[in-house]
Structure 1
Amino acid sequence: MRLRHTHQLSAAERDTLRAFLSDAFDGDFADFDFDHSLGGLHVLADDHAGLVGHASVVQRQLIAGATVLRTGYVEAVAVASRRRREGIGDALMVCVEDVIADAYDLGALSASDDGRPLYLRRGWEPWNGPLGVLTLDGVRPTADEDSILVLRTPTHPGLDTTRRLICDPRAGSAW
């Protein structure tokens, strides 16, 4: 596993990463999805043929009830199709979770149906309260209520996951 901040990736490495993610998500990985994965720490797994796994942790501000939480938000978790079911996803998440535990108040992600079992097995929990996004016109409810998972950290172990959770705005999908 290699850890690199976005600023440490060359233009060619970013292009390779973008192509890898598009392939890993079977072409269902939009430009805004890639943009969401930038600006933070990348966990990269390689083998003899090149990149086989990726996950990134970017900082977001989430508001749980009345508490603003510096959140390590996980984006673009992917494993090359030829290397799936070999533990690479778990290895990526070990690194991601270490970063979150050491640097953030909370970990969060929007889980795909395929990825959800991996995260739940690793101790991530569903957020059970209502979700929203902060806009210029106030808080707007979002419809991602069944896909948001959180990872508690030592700084907020008793966080109430039934409260409303609000994310900061961004282009593309809110979560």
Structure 2
Amino acid sequence: MTEVRTAHTADLDAATLTAARVLLDEVFEGDLSDQDWDHALGGVHALLWEGERLVGHASVVQRRLLYGGRALRAGYVEGVGVHPDHRRRGHATRLMTALEHTIRGAYDLGALSASDEARPLYTARGWRPWQGRTFALTPLGIARTEEEDAGVLVLPVRVPLDLGGELVCDWRDGDVW
């Protein structure tokens, strides 16, 4: 039997955080940098347990996205992964259901950057591909992030969005989107 639990990073013990990092390292086949892991911290985690074993993780953190002359509070999804032995059982859907509850209750919109293979999971849940141009607010000013255009998806919540507009994310080290 599997169970999804949610908790803020501050409420997770070191053993749980270590288990989540180990899981994501396995899920992403060693391609999860320290910066990627850092991006997943500081918000609400959805943790999928099978008994005492962590088999799934996802988190939502707050970011600021600039859109239409406004700074919007975005629930940004990070670190979504299910152990390879537990895939194709609806576990990612359960993790996203928990995070979307948080996004709808606390943010102006949801946002994430998806790989091509993960994209169908999100679009089936109502996440919309951003069709406009993307940018990042860098220490040197606003910079175009053309390589990210096709991967950004949003979940409209409180603000009507023109998906063909321009979207600017706040700065962070590593992958900005």
Q: TM-score range by the shorter chain?
A: over 0.9
Map 1:127-146; keep pairs closer than 5 Å: 127-142=130-145, 143-146=147-150
Aligned residue for 1:35, secondary structure, equals helix
> 1:60 is matched with which residue?
63
| Aligned residue identity for 1:166 | V
Structure 1 runs of 4+ aligned residues shifted over 4 Å read: none
Distance 2:173 2:31 in 1: 17
Q: Give ranges in structure 1 of 5+ residues lacking alignment.
A: none
> 2:162 is matched with which residue?
160
Aligned residue for 1:146, secondary structure, equals helix
CA RMSD of aligned residues (A): 0.9
Q: Give ranges in structure 2 of 5+ residues lacking alignment.
A: none
Distance 2:79 2:20 in 1: 10
Aligned residue for 1:174, secondary structure, equals coil
Among 4, 9, 17, the alignment partner of 2:7 is 4
Aligned residue for 1:128, secondary structure, equals coil
| Aligned residue identity for 1:22 | D
Q: CA deviation at 1:65?
A: 2.5
In the alignment, is residue 102 of structure 1 matched against residue 119 of structure 2? no
Distance 1:109 1:117 in 2: 13
Aligned residue for 1:170, secondary structure, equals coil
In the alignment, is residue 92 of structure 1 matched against residue 95 of structure 2? yes
Aligned residue for 2:20, secondary structure, equals helix
Among 110, 121, 127, the alignment partner of 2:124 is 121
Distance 1:136 1:18 in 2: 29
Distance 1:114 1:8 in 2: 32
Q: Is the 8 Å Cα contact of residues 139 and 171 (structure 2) preserved in structure 1?
A: no
> 2:35 is matched with which residue?
32
Aligned residue for 2:137, secondary structure, equals strand
Q: CA deviation at 1:43?
A: 0.3
Aligned residue for 1:159, secondary structure, equals coil
| Aligned residue identity for 2:22 | A
Q: CA deviation at 1:25?
A: 1.0
Distance 2:91 2:17 in 1: 20
Aligned residue for 1:52, secondary structure, equals strand
- Calculate the TM-score normalised by the size of structure 1: 0.96
In the alignment, is residue 151 of structure 1 matched against residue 151 of structure 2? no
- Calculate the TM-score normalised by the size of structure 2: 0.95
Distance 1:75 1:69 in 2: 18
Identity rate of aligned residues, in percent?
A: 48
Distance 2:18 2:172 in 1: 22
Q: Deviations over 1:73-107 (max 9, x none)?
A: 00000001001000001111111111101100000
Among 37, 47, 53, the alignment partner of 1:44 is 47
